Structures are given as C-alpha cells and as structure tokens.
Chain A
C-alpha cells in the first residue's frame, strides 16, 4: 500500500505560472478573505453605478465593493461621492434603500447624521442632557465621518476605490478606456436591472467575458445567426498591464476558409436545425458607425460592459462568499433615444442576462465548474490557447491571452 500523499505546500502555485490555475483559488475561504483585502480594498477601481442613476442633488444609490456596502451620492454642488454604508458610531447600515433621495444621511440607531459627502454633522445628545451624559469634550465631529472612497466619473460611469495608491482611473484603465468611450457617447438613460445570483466563485464569472475563445463555441446563437463567428473580422485589446480587455466582432465580414469549415462542422454551436420564426430580434442599427456587432469589455476585477447589437449594459460582479456571486446587469440607452430605439434595445435585452437566449450558458458553466472542482485540493486549469506568455496570441480572439494576464495580475495582488 502506498504511503499517504504529503499535504501540498500551502498555496503553492503550479510552477508553470499563469498558464495554470490551481482550483483551490476558487474554493478556499482564506484566499477569499485575502481577496477582500488585497483586491476589493486593494489597488483597483470598482464599478459603483451610472451618473444617470443619481441625476439630482440628494439622489443616492447603494451598492457593494466586494462584501462592503457602499453609498453613492450626488451632493448639493453636483459632485459625486461614495462612502462606506456603515455608521461610524456602531456600524449600523445607514441607507437601506436601493435608491433614494435625501438631504442628509441619517443613521436610525442613534441619530448620527451625515451630509451627502459623508461628513458627520450631528450626533443625538452629543452634549448630554442638563450637563449629564454626552460624548467626551474632546469629541470632534470632523473625525467621525463615514469612511469615504476615491471616486472617478468616466463618461457617465462612476467608479470608486478604497485605495489611496491606485493610479487615477483613466491611467489605470489605459487602452481599454477607448472601448468604453466608444459606447459612452452621450448622456445615458437607465432601462432597468437584472440581478443574477450565481452559485460559483466570482473569479469563474470574471474569467468568462475575458475568454473570447468560448464565445462562438458555447453560445449557439452567435454562430448560427452570424452575430459573431470566428471567421469574422475581430480583435482583442488589452491595456499595458493586462488587467483589462475588450474584444469586438464585426458581423457580415466573413472570410471563408477550409479550416474554419472543417472546425465548425464539429461544433455543437453551429446548428442548422436552429432557426427563428420571428427574425426581428436579429435587426440591429449600426449606431456607432463602425460595423461592430458585439463588443465585450472587462475591467479587473469585476466590471463588464457589453454592446450586443443595440443592447447595452454594465455588469457588476459582487462576491458573496467563496461559492456565490451576484451579477447585476444595468441596461441602458441614451437620454436622446427615440421610442423606436428604446423598443429595439428592450427587445434585444432578450439576448443576454439571466434569461438571455444567447448566453444563459455562462452561469451554468460557472456553476458546473464549481461542482466539478470538488474539494479543490488537487487539479488546475490549463490556459495555453494562443501560447504560453502574456503577449502570445496577439490580438486574435482565438486566444486565452486575457486570462493569462488576469491571473498574472491576480497573483501579484494576492502575493501568490
């Protein structure tokens, strides 16, 4: 009988480096806790919302950065602020609504009151009553405001960070900012929300939209109806640090080749039996004038913005433990959209999201991975499509280059 295997050295990454990912990173509670510190409260910017969600002074919304609840406000002077949604006194949640309007932020527990920038302006019975009780004489309101985040508003999209060190947003987002500017061409209008609760580690989902290799293989709709095929003109763009990526495809730019035909004949996703009775869902307008039918853009560590035909949405990934994450989809159009354009965007909302005809597969795959890795004490994924380095694969979509770059950045941030 063989001797029992020795326990592997704690958190030893496979020697191949970022082309391998040990499955314990998707499973381990200590790793998850360290991610909260090193990534979600570390040197990264996080999506908080759209300016259009807080159009007027006093408007606020609540959201999360990692596990921490955050309030995003518009102050009287029009500036956008973000702070921890936790009273500086005893930790009660200050705002309970998803959205609201207020002159001040009022903690119900002991009536500690903050202004829209998070400064403490009053604490009930601060001076006591008739000379008895109250806070100590050295208590300073200015020292007990809500913990604030740095905020960046980028073409109508609000990002925040707890980090004082991370580079300014525009610099941090680098070349991928171009893909955002392309879509964020004017004042936005929110069309609605869709929250998808995925029983898998947040990183499984984060990998998914970075992975252009799967898009036309897993998702039958894309290939069958020609919205996105590997044979079409497409490109992948990363920032210099490899944190962020977007890729796009131009429908109707097929370049036939014998190896493409040979491969697609074996793909489950190329399905001649799949036809539509009503093809109105396939109608689209080239509203950006560049022929791009799909653009999927991912920022480290938890933000996606998609353009699928004329469906536009942000996706915010909120971790809720090692095995659960919420994906909050915010669908939008532009403030000056015609009624017909809004109808088209709403019709195309059928394509993606929790009930998306194109892409319900993604959440299913994340959950199947979660179960397939089991106790995760052995095993690793293999990420060599397009090559073994951070640059190999170039700008082709048939590559896992953006995944190698993600794990490279992740390991640096996590000290793994």
Chain B
C-alpha cells in the first residue's frame, strides 16, 4: 500500500517524536504530558504480551493527567538509583491516515546511564506505534504505544520511555 503523505507532515511527526525523546533525555520528563492530546493515551507493553494478544501493559496512562501522576510519583515517591536515558530514534514512517490521524511507526533504542558508577547499557529497544494529530495546536500524540522487544526489563522502569 502506498500512502501519499505530505512532506510537512513528516517533518511535524519527526519533530514530535524527537521532542518527546529529548524532553526525557534532558530530564524535563514533565514536558512529555503536554505532547499528548487531551484524550491521549500512553502505553508501554512488551512484544511478548502483544504477540500473544495479552492485554497487560507495564505502564498504561489513559490521560495526560495519569502520565503526570506517574511522573510526579517518580519525582517525589519512588526510590531508585539515579540514572538517565539517551534515546536513539530511527525508521520514522507514516504508514497511514484516517480522519486526520496519522498512523506512525518508529524504532527506538534507549541507553541507560547510571549516575553513580557510570555504567551504561542498552536498556530497552522497541517500536513506537503512534497516532499523531497535526492541527492548528501543533502535532500531538493521540496514542503513544511503546512495544518493547525484550520480555525482560532491567531492574525497573521508572523514567518513561
């Protein structure tokens, strides 16, 4: 199937995906919630579950408010060793459009760097299955589903991917 997508849409979508990653990598995690539409959904689920039609997600926020709550929990409630991420994004493709919502795929690699001992490792890889709205308010995610490749999560997932 060939989908004719305007070049400007591509630029807007890529920029949105990069904004999300950069906000997290620059420790401005709170900023990502504003990249969701008002009814936007953010979900992180394993490929293992997804391939088997099992509905469990390790993170499932059905509103920007729930994502903000999770990020607040990360800031004030959760205990973990200090670390940060570096996102590598590739293969951004718009694979369809329906009623003004773009269906987008991209790949990510997240490297986790531990502040204390300096160790870094590939923490997570996977595919982002996004629905993006491009309108007057700027591009935003109506849906951001992150399907991580390995069934195992190293230690814990507290900073969103």
Interface residues of A (CB under 8 A from B): 98-99, 190-199, 218, 220-221, 224, 271, 273-274, 276-278, 280-281, 326, 331, 342, 346-347, 349-350, 353-355, 357, 360-361, 363-365, 367-368
Contact = CB atoms under 8 A, between A and B. Distances in A.
Contacts of A191: 54-56
Given A192-B56, A357-B70, A364 B81 contact: yes
A346 B153 CA distance: 18
Interface string B127-161: 00000000000000000000000011111111000
B77 A220 contact: yes
A364 B156 contact: yes
Contacts of A349: 56-58, 60
A361 B81 CA distance: 9
A197 B79 contact: no
B51 to A, nearest CB: 10
A220 B54 CA distance: 30
A192 B49 contact: yes
B60 A347 contact: yes
B77 A278 contact: no
Given A355-B44, A355-B158, A274 B72 contact: yes
Contacts of B77: 220-221, 224, 271, 274, 357
A218 B58 CA distance: 21
B25 to A, nearest CB: 18
Contacts of A195: 48, 151-153
B150 to A, nearest CB: 8
Contact of A192 (B55, B59, B73): B55
A194 B156 CA distance: 11
Given A357-B70, A357-B77, A364-B80, A192 B54 contact: yes
A193 B52 CA distance: 10
Contacts of A192: 45-46, 49, 52, 54-57
Contact of B69 (A198, A276, A353): A276
B66 interface: yes
Contacts of A365: 79
Interface in B56-85: 56-63, 65-66, 68-70, 72-73, 76-81
A196 B54 contact: no
State which size class the interface on B falls in.
35 or more
Nearest to A347: B60
A192 to B, nearest CB: 2
Given A193-B46, A364-B79, A355 B56 contact: no
Contacts of B59: 350, 355
Nearest to B61: A350
A374 to B, nearest CB: 13
10 contacts: A190-B54, A192-B46, A193-B46, A193-B56, A195-B153, A196-B155, A221-B77, A278-B66, A355-B156, A363-B156
A363 B58 CA distance: 15
Contacts of A199: 154-155
B114 to A, nearest CB: 10
A194 B154 contact: no
Given A193-B46, A196-B156, A342 B79 contact: no
Contacts of B151: 193, 195
A354 B157 contact: yes
B92 to A, nearest CB: 25
Given A347-B60, A350-B70, A198 B155 contact: yes
B69 A367 contact: no
Contacts of A274: 72-73, 76-77
